[in-house]
Each structure stands twice: as C-alpha cells, then as structure tokens.
Amino acid sequence: MKRLLTKLYRLVIAVIILIAGVTFERTGLIELLSDPYEYPVILELLIQHVYIVGLSMLIATIIGITAGIVLTRARFRKYAGICMYIIGLGQTIPSLAVLALAMSFLGIGFKPAVFALTIYSILPIARNTLAGITAVPPELIDAGKGMGMTPMKILLEVEIPNAMEVILTGFRVALIINIGTAALAYVIGAGGLGDLIFTGISLMQTDKLLAGAIPVTLLALFGDFLSELLGLVLISKGLRLSNR
C-alpha cells in the first residue's frame, strides 16, 4: 500500500510539472524569464516584497507578543477583551481600504504599506500569545513560585515555552496573510511583486501576471516552511502538542 501511494505521489508530481510546463510555455512566461533584461527587474521587485513583509512582520511580532503578554498579567487581564476587539478592527476593514487610509496620512510609497501590513498582522500574533499563555496549566506556575522563581523568570521559563507552539501558529497565519496582502502595496506606490501582477492584469499579459503571482505563492510556501522550522528550533520536543 505504501509503495502504491509513493508511485501515485510521483505520478501526481509529474503531471503537475507537465501541466505547469505547458502553461508556462503557452502563456509566454518561459520566454519572459529567458530575457536577461527581465531578471534584474523581477529580482528588484522580489527584494522589495520581502523587505516590506519582513519589516512589517518584525514590528507586528514585537507589538503582538508584547500586547499578548501584558494582557495576561493580573493587572491588565480585565482589559483583554476590549483590547483584542480594538486590535481586531484592523482585520475587519478590507486590506485595500487599510492601505488607502494609511496613504491618506502617510503619503504614497513604502511607509504606508509597512504601517498597513503591520496593523493587519498584529491580531493573529497578539490573540495567539494571549490564548497560549492563558492556557498554561496553573499547576506549572504554582510549581515555579514554589521553587522561588520571580514573575519574570516564570514568564520566560514556564509560560512562554509552554505557549510557544500557539504563538508560532499565530505568527504563521500573520506571515501568510502578510505575504499575500503585500502584493496590494503596489497600488500605493510601494513596489513589490504586485507591480508585475497588476501590470499583467491591466495589459492582459499572462506572462507578467504569472511572473508576479508564482513568486508570491512560493514565498507563502516558504513562509509556512520557515514557521515549521522555527517551531523545531524554539519548541522543545517534550512541549510539542503533537507529542502530548
């Protein structure tokens, strides 16, 4: 049975590669990529896209994890609901509208794109940080107190390690959303792979459309892989939910 599934898997991969090759040839993508003058353009747009995503995710991760931790402290726990609601307002507004609002007071270009993507990415990280730390068994915290740990040490050595898998799940969701939404940054002059996508749509050039859409898809897959890799590095084997 296992051998049959392996053969079926290889067949499916071969069919996908064949279909992709035919599609790329007929749409002119291969011809576009074979043009040496196009490589610097695509590479520059890819770097812009990664930079926008990377910076906004860095800011969102710092704000989201900090907010989640603060809202789990006894003094601020009663404000958790209203704070999560306020943070969540950023995701109830369509992404294009958030970009437009950011552009209205930050102008066009890089800054409003990073601001809007940061707002869009904070909620999953903050929400999962709050949920993960809240779900830590009280017995573990009591054990830490019994061992003479300070509140900061309990947070760093008990609460965060036990909540890390849930936190990383929020990070993964935010990263995938961010990579896809960053393509819209082109409409406010921030560049990125959205340049190729929207140019391809407006000029009805499928090759340019695919030259932008395929890297975005691959970036999303790489982001998912990176999140898995971070999980292997940051979560001890004994704490992984899958092994409980």
Q: Are residues 47 and 21 in the same domain?
A: no
Q: Are residues 58 and 175 in the same domain?
A: yes
| pLDDT score of 212 | 83
Q: How far apart, in whole angstroms, are the C-alpha atoms of residue 60 and residue 104?
A: 21
The residue ranges of the chain whose pLDDT is under 50 are 18, 22, 25, 242-244
| pLDDT score of 243 | 47
Residue type at 46? Answer: L
Q: Which domain holds residue 149?
A: 38-243
| pLDDT score of 82 | 85
DSSP category for residue 159: I
Q: How far apart, in whole angstroms, are the C-alpha atoms of residue 192 and residue 41?
A: 10
Q: Are residues 98 and 113 in the same domain?
A: yes
Contact between 186 and 113 (Cβ < 8 Å):
no
Domain count for the chain: 2
Q: Are residues 70 and 1 in the same domain?
A: no
Whether the pTM exceeds 0.85: the reply is no
Q: How far apart, in whole angstroms, are the C-alpha atoms of residue 34 and residue 29?
A: 8
Q: Are residues 68 and 139 in the same domain?
A: yes
Q: How far apart, in whole angstroms, are the C-alpha atoms of residue 186 and residue 109?
A: 8
| Other CB atoms within 10 Å distance of the CB of residue 44 | 13
Q: Are residues 86 and 127 in the same domain?
A: yes
Q: Are residues 232 and 134 in the same domain?
A: yes
| Other CB atoms within 10 Å distance of the CB of residue 137 | 10
Q: How far apart, in whole angstroms, are the C-alpha atoms of residue 206 and residue 109?
A: 26
CATH number, residue 201: 1.10.3720.10
| pLDDT score of 27 | 52
- Torsion, Cα of 89, 94, 98, 101 (10° steps): -100
Q: Are residues 18 and 135 in the same domain?
A: no
Lookup: tokens for 63: 């704000």
Q: Are residues 79 and 9 in the same domain?
A: no
Lookup: tokens for 7: 């053969």
Q: Are residues 7 and 74 in the same domain?
A: no
Rounded to 5 degrees, φ, ψ at 182 are -60, -20
Q: Are residues 109 and 179 in the same domain?
A: yes
| pLDDT score of 142 | 86
- Residue from 75, 98, 65 nearest 182 by CA: 98
- Torsion, Cα of 190, 120, 62, 143 (10° steps): -160
